[in-house]
Amino acid sequence: MIGKSTTSTRPAALPEVLDILEHRRASGDIGYEQQTCYDYANKFAKITKAKSEKLVEDICGNEKIKPETAVKIIDIMPKYRSQLNIILLKDKCELSDKEKEKVLELVASVKQKERKKAEEAPAEAPAKAAEAAAEEPKKE
């Protein structure tokens, strides 16, 4: 990349990556690698950007957890303590059982809110599909 330099770096969760790439995609400035990254983020981002930022703040409230580790937790959204232990072991982050339970509770609360939204959305989807089908001109 000629003429470009990195001014700073920070970890970004998949919902944030998805948001950035959606903006670039809208402007038409997206290459093959970015398209591949967009497809991946679109498939695996489980929460919105705003919720991921809030969750990073909540998880980083524990000073033992680095922002990089918090982002990994958000990307994976562990359901069980064993999954969380794997993430924490890789980053050499040692938490007590009580602290691990708090992290799992934070993740579970966000997941539960997203699940409720997903249950409400399918009821609206068939109506929108029917409207779109009615607006399309029929091919003969």
pLDDT tens, position by position, 33-79: 999 999 999 999 888 898 999 999 998 888 889 999 999 999 999 99
HSE (side-chain half, CA atoms, 13 Å) at 76: 19
Angle (nearest 5°) at CA 91 between 85 and 92: 80
Does some domain include residue 34?
A: yes
Query: What digits encode the pLDDT tens for the residues 67-112?
Result: 999 999 999 999 999 999 999 998 888 888 899 999 999 999 887 7
Q: What is the CATH number of the domain that holds 58?
A: 1.10.150.80
Contacts of 38 (CB under 8 A, 6+ apart): 18, 21, 22, 25, 30
Q: Are 64 and 99 in contact (CB under 8 A)?
A: yes
Q: Is the pLDDT of residue 7 over 60?
A: yes
pTM for the model: 0.73
Is 89 a member of any domain?
A: yes
93 domain-assigned: yes
Where in the sequence is the domain holding 92, given as residue range(s)?
Answer: 14-114
